[in-house]
Each structure stands twice: as C-alpha cells, then as structure tokens.
A and B are shown apart, each in its own frame.
Chain A
Amino acid sequence: MTLSSKLLENKTVLITGANRGIGKVLVETFALNGASIWACARKETPDFIEFIRDISSRHNVLIRILYFDLKNETEIKESLKVLITEKSKIDVLVNNAGVFHGGLLQMTTINTIKEVFEINFFSQLFIIQYISRLMIKQKSGSIINMSSIAGMDSYPGYSAYGSSKAALIYATKTLAKELAPFNIRINAIAPGLTDTDMALEMETKAKDTMLNNSVMQRLAKPNEIANTALFLASDLSTFINGQVIRVDGGM
C-alpha cells in the first residue's frame, strides 16, 4: 500500500541513490505526495531518464536530476552548486545511496572497508554538511539517513557494512542535537533485509539467518521503507528527532 495524501505538497526533496532499489520507490512515493524532487544518481542511463520522465508526468511534479559519484567530494560539491545558483530550497534530504559489502574481516581488505565508509558514511556527512547550510538559512528541514539493522545488530560478515551504518546512526543522533537550534530534524531508518538488488548480493546463508530472525519471516518491500521516509519527511513527524526507526517486521 502506498500513502497518497499530498503530504509533501510545496516541499522540495533531494534523494540520493534515486536510480535503483529503495531510491526509485522513494522518488515515486514522494512524487505521489506532491513533492518537487532533485533525484541524484551516479550516472545517466536511458532507463533512469525514462523513469524520471514517467513519474514526473504521471504525478505532475517537477523532478530534476543531478549526477555525482559519492566517492568524489569535488564532484558532489560541483553538482550541488546548482542548488545555490537556482536558489532552490531543500526541505527534505534523503541520504539513501549506499553500498553493500559482505565478508569476514579476514577476507576484507582495509581499502574495501575505507571504500564502504567513503560511500556509506563520509559522503553522507558531506552532503548533510552542504544541505544543512541551506536548511539553516530556511530555519527548517528534515534529514533522513538510510541506515540498516546491521548498524544496530551484529552479523558475521558485516564488519564493514554494519560499522559504516552504525557510524551513520551515531552521526544522526549527534547531528539531531547540533541542528535542533535551527529547526532541522534528522532521523535514520534501519531497514531489515529489503527486496532489492542489494539483497541479491548477499550470501544465501547470511540472508537465511536474517530472514529466520525476522518475526514476519519475509523481506521488507521497498515501499514499506519509503512510507516510513515519507512520514519522517512530512509534517506528521515534527517532534520526532534523533531517532532510528527499525523497519524490519520485528526481530
């Protein structure tokens, strides 16, 4: 089920990782709810362009695209500059992009761990640093970080991914305190295993363990994650700040 009450009318949202998995569903859910969207992806593909065009015309909302590689700080900065030149306000930032890596620590190079942190943590902080400056001027905003239950619980093979998501949770809680004076809320979502391409990248055994731990014994649907983000983005959650919301069907 997807909520549709125009909860984000007159709001502008920036979503990273908008070209796949949960990100695509976020774009659709937010467009359905009347948001103007900056959809960010790493590179241009005909499928992505077509997807954005379709969503934009179906829901009659403005969706603009930004391309940048999360591993490249200069590229992120150059790309986000358009928000300044166009004097675009950003009411909601969804730090959704991320990369999965599974493997025992002894089978993971430090460079791989650094790369996972670069995408799942440092680039997210960089984007928050940039976008929160716009929000400070507006004296309002909602930031949503896509963490993971792997950042709260521990699983063998998750040292790189889980640590990066745990770091994001810590940053979320700290920044909630730093940004509250400017009326900016920041929360995290911790999805359980979700039915996206990322789930396919997992080792079957690890995936089964996670599923068996879930009370509802199934994968999350991407729209179940997107609806939680919608709630946190909307004015329905104006007193929710510094929280991590698990969307895992119960563990």
Chain B
Amino acid sequence: MTNIEKYNEIFANCFQIKEGQMSKLTYQSVEGWDSVGHMGLIAALEESFDIMLDTDDIIDFSSYEKGKEILKKYDIIF
C-alpha cells in the first residue's frame, strides 16, 4: 500500500467519509473530526506510519492537505 493510500484509508476509517470528500476536508468540517476524533486520527497516523508527532504539529494539523505537508517533515513522502 502506498503512503497516500494509507493516509486516505485512515481518514476514511476515522471519519466515515469517501475519498472524493477528502481534499477539502478541514478540522471540524465533518461530525467525526472534533477534538476527540482529532486525537484518534493522530493515533492512527502515528501507528500506521510509525512516527510520533510533535504537539505543535498536532495543533497545526488543521486539514487533510495540511496533514500531508506536516507528515513530510517526518519523511513520509506522498
């Protein structure tokens, strides 16, 4: 599975959304992406990519696209 496939699968599982909805997805734009959902998303990403995000990056992780940018800092290339 490629990194983008993994990334999308995590978003799909965490927020019960389809791939077509992802590119414009922002924090709190869907019911599941509240603060608790955010921590679940971070845990799933960390588990899947075997990384540990800094607190600043967890705070900055405000959208689907921003998340990809942040993960690049951890050598996750899309």
Contact = CB atoms under 8 A, between A and B. Distances in A.
Interface of A: 81, 84, 129, 133, 136-137, 181-182
- Chain B: interface residue count, which band? under 10
Interface of B: 36, 39-40, 42-43, 46-47, 52, 55
A228 B19 CA distance: 49
B43 A133 contact: yes
A137 B46 contact: yes
Given A81-B52, A136-B40, 16 more contacts: A84-B52, A129-B55, A133-B42, A133-B43, A133-B46, A133-B52, A136-B39, A136-B42, A136-B43, A137-B43, A137-B46, A137-B47, A181-B36, A182-B39, A182-B40, A182-B43
7 contacts: A133-B43, A136-B39, A136-B40, A136-B43, A137-B47, A182-B40, A182-B43
Contacts of B46: 133, 137
Contacts of B36: 181
Query: 7 tightest A-B contacts by CB?
Result: A136-B43, A137-B43, A181-B36, A137-B47, A84-B52, A136-B39, A129-B55
A172 to B, nearest CB: 18
Contacts of A84: 52
A133 B47 CA distance: 10
A182 B40 CA distance: 8
Contacts of A81: 52
B75 to A, nearest CB: 15
A97 B43 CA distance: 27
A84 B74 CA distance: 14
A136 to B, nearest CB: 4
A81 B52 CA distance: 9
Contacts of A136: 39-40, 42-43
